[in-house]
């Protein structure tokens, strides 16, 4: 565990302890909760590489060539057959 991360967890655990009214005997729970909070913060806004790769592959498979998109824009709409 890096010193910076450990310090952040320590500060967050202390904050949780204070918010809960400084209860005795809850230090392990506070530490684990703080570690989870820090991990969540560090992961926020950073999609996992696995998910990013899947999204990129899905986007490429669904994307139409630029020429096809341009053809659709310039094509005249077909009139419905009259009954």
Domains of the chain by residue range: 3-72
At residue 44, the pLDDT reads 78
pLDDT for 38 equals 96
pLDDT for position 15: 97
**Interior CA angle at 45 toward 41 and 51, to 5°?**
115
Cβ contact 32:10 at 8 Å: no
Alpha-carbon separation of residue 52 from 14, 39, 40, 48, 65 (angstroms): 35, 19, 18, 6, 22
pLDDT in the model for residue 65: 58
Residue 26 DSSP one-character state: -
| Mean pLDDT, rounded, for 24-48 | 89
Res. 62 pLDDT band, cuts 50 70 90: low
CB atoms within 10 A of CB 34: 20
């Amino acid at each position: 565990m890096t010193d910076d991360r450990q310090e952040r967890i320590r500060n967050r655990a202390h904050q949780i302890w204070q918010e809960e009214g400084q209860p005795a005997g809850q230090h392990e729970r506070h530490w684990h909760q703080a570690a989870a909070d820090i991990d969540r913060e560090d992961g926020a806004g950073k999609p996992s590489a696995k998910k990013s790769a899947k999204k990129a592959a899905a986007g490429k498979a669904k994307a139409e060539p630029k020429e096809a998109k341009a053809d659709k824009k310039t094509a005249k709409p077909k009139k419905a057959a009259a009954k």
